Amino acid sequence: MAEHTKHYQDDLIMDVGQLSAAMRDPVPENRVFLWMCRPCGTWCFWEWEVYLRDTEAHNTWTYPEYIAQADQIKAYRITVDPGQPGPSSLVPGAIQPLNYREQVERVKRLALPIHQVTLAFECGETRAMSYADYSSHSCELIRRFGPIGATYYQPENKGELDALLYAERHPPKQRSRRPKRPPTR
């Protein structure tokens, strides 16, 4: 990142904070991220959220300007190990390099629509609603309950999203083909 990102290097501070917080999350899916390193900053998103259409994560990951500059983007899947952060800023886990151009095309092709949204307001109130209701009533809810602390998106079928993410993380192995032997006589 220090060599590749010339501007907005402080983005990494936010990314490390997000990854460190994930160490304490008991939900394994909330410890897997897609991370993008660009000449002008970085982005770090939950992988599952990138695969839900119309989320900020999906729209940013598939932003046409980024796709046009795909050769300048380094992308990774980061899986954070559970535990407690240590005294340094190191976050234990695994980093898998991705071909951004190929990966973003899979995201565009495979992403699922949002079915339900759960809003956690800073006041402690929580509301779950359909995506259509969220789109038309979010301003009214903010006036009623105040600022939104967190937004969680769900597809209609979580099993479908789980299967999609599993397939992304465990692609089929290419079997090497052996030359066919000529028929024996």
| pLDDT value of residue 7 | 43
Segment 59-74, tens digit of pLDDT: 999 999 888 889 889 9
| 105 belongs to a structural domain | yes
Whether 166 is covered by a domain: the verdict is: no
Q: Is residue 40 part of a domain?
A: yes
Residue 8 in this model has a pLDDT that exceeds 50: no
Q: Does residue 75 lie within any of the structural domains?
A: yes
pLDDT single digits (tens) 12-57? 567 777 788 888 899 999 999 999 988 778 889 999 999 999 999 9
Is the predicted pLDDT of residue 89 greater than 50, yes or no? yes
Residue 1 lies in a domain: no
pLDDT attached to residue 45: 96
> Does residue 178 belong to any structural domain of this protein?
no
State the residue range of the domain holding 81: 11-111
Count of other CB atoms within 10 angstroms of residue 11: 19
Examine residue 136 and state whether it is found in any structural domain, yes or no: no
Interval 134-184: pLDDT, tens: 989 988 999 999 999 999 999 999 999 999 999 999 888 765 566 666 666
In a domain, 170, yes or no: no
Q: How many domains does the chain have?
A: 1
User: Per-residue DSSP letters for the chain?
Assistant: -TTT--B-TTHHHHHHHHHHHHTT-S-GGGGEEEEEEETBEEEEEEHHHHTBTTSHHHHHHT-HHHHHTGGG-EEEEEEEPSS---SSS---EEEEEE-HHHHHHHHHHHPBPP-EEEEEETTS-EEEEEHHHHHHHHHHHHHHH-SEEEEEEE-S-HHHHHHHHHHHHSPPPPPPPPPPPPPP-
Read off the pLDDT of each residue in 110-132 and give the average, rounded to a whole number.
96
Q: How far apart are CA 87 and CA 70, in angstroms?
A: 35
